[in-house]
């Protein structure tokens, strides 16, 4: 399918978190909160010392009361400073596709949009359904090709791990990652990367500009994680149509057909291995089942998709 493996998506905006605390009579910044509370603790301690002068209670008892009050205020200062530090940290997991919380019967999961190709009139159908008690996206492709895409802004160096679940009902007999006529797969997960002119060689810039003239707004690079028929798992090759995309075989053959399979890949390492350079920002994630070249039929099921900082972070 002509240039399908180098799909793109527009990014509507960027996500960010700005934490700003204002203390009465002080400067902006979370650092002022524990500072002012500590000052208050010292003044409260001083007032407590003046209050106990001349009273008949033993000095040791009044001194203990002052210490307890002072320590409570200091503890309060520490506890109030914790939320600001926690909020300033980015989340360990980014949920790109939460299909499991979708509404059964939806043709388009929330936040996703159709990915279609001008020269391919017949489209794959997608629907949110239940499968074994789980809510997922079901794709049915009959000599067709189209996908679902979601614009994102993700740093692959900060979030190098992508995890997802999928299942297929059958492999394609004519699928062959090395051939244009075999560029069909029952299940794909696309990761696309934005164009950063400061990180692209002059020769690649020329090829990229030429590609834009022919195909429109294409990404500078794409990783295609695919379920192939016979190519060994772990193989990484250029796409049959364009060297802007690399095909990564994560499943192959019929051994796991009909079973839900959990996948995990290090995008950062895959990109460096595939393209020989540092990856730019991720700007799109897509799923697709396509059979327009082979004229076959395929059914696939897609579960949640998450990005995470490390393999130890929980994605469930």
Q: What are the C-alpha distances in Å from 281 to residues 7, 90, 171, 178, 270?
A: 15, 16, 32, 27, 14
- Statement: 92-308 belongs to CATH 2.60.120.430: yes
Tens of pLDDT, residue by residue over 139-168, are 999 999 999 999 999 999 999 999 999 999
Instruction: Please give the Cα distance from 144 to 289 (Å, whole number).
Output: 8
Tens of pLDDT, residue by residue over 235-262, are 999 999 888 899 999 999 999 999 999 9
Tens of pLDDT, residue by residue over 272-298, are 999 998 999 999 999 999 999 999 999
Tens of pLDDT, residue by residue over 214-243, are 455 555 589 999 999 999 999 999 999 888
Higher pLDDT, 118 or 109: 109
DSSP label at residue 122 = S
Residue 112 has pLDDT above 80, yes or no: yes
Residue 31: its pLDDT value, please? Answer: 40
Name the residue with tokens 């379920």.
227
Q: Domain boundaries in the chain?
A: 32-88, 92-308
Tens of pLDDT, residue by residue over 183-196, are 999 999 999 998 76
Instruction: Single out the residue of 148, 82, 86 nearest to residue 113, CA to CA.
Output: 148
Instruction: Please give the Cα distance from 261 to 241 (Å, whole number).
Output: 28
């Amino acid at each position: 399918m002509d240039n399908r493996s180098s799909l793109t998506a527009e990014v509507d905006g960027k996500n960010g978190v700005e934490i700003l605390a204002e203390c009465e009579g002080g400067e902006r910044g979370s650092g002022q909160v524990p500072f002012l509370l500590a000052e208050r603790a010292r003044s409260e301690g001083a007032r407590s010392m003046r209050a106990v002068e001349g009273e008949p209670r033993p000095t040791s008892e009044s001194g203990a009361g002052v210490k307890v009050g002072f320590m409570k205020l200091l503890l309060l200062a520490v506890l109030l400073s914790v939320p600001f530090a926690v909020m300033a940290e980015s989340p360990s997991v980014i949920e790109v596709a939460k299909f499991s919380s979708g509404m059964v019967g939806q043709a388009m999961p929330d936040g996703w949009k159709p990915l279609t190709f001008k020269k391919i009139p017949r489209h794959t159908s997608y629907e949110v359904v239940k499968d074994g008690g789980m809510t997922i996206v079901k794709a049915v492709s009959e000599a067709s090709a189209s996908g679902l895409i979601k614009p994102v802004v993700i740093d692959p160096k900060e979030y190098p791990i992508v995890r997802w679940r999928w299942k297929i009902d059958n492999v394609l007999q004519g699928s062959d990652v090395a051939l244009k006529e075999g560029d069909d797969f029952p299940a794909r997960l696309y990761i696309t990367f934005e164009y950063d002119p400061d990180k692209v060689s002059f020769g690649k810039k020329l090829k990229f500009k030429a590609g834009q003239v022919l195909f429109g707004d294409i990404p500078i690079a794409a990783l295609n994680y695919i379920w192939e028929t016979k190519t060994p798992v772990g193989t990484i090759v250029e796409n049959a149509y364009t060297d802007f995309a690399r095909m990564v075989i994560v499943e192959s053959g019929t051994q796991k057909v009909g079973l839900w399979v959990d996948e995990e890949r290090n995008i950062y390492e895959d990109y460096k291995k595939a393209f020989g350079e540092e990856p730019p920002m991720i700007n799109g994630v897509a799923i697709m089942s396509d059979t327009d070249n082979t004229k076959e039929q395929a059914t696939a099921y897609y579960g949640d998709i998450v990005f995470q900082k490390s393999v130890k972070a929980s994605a469930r």
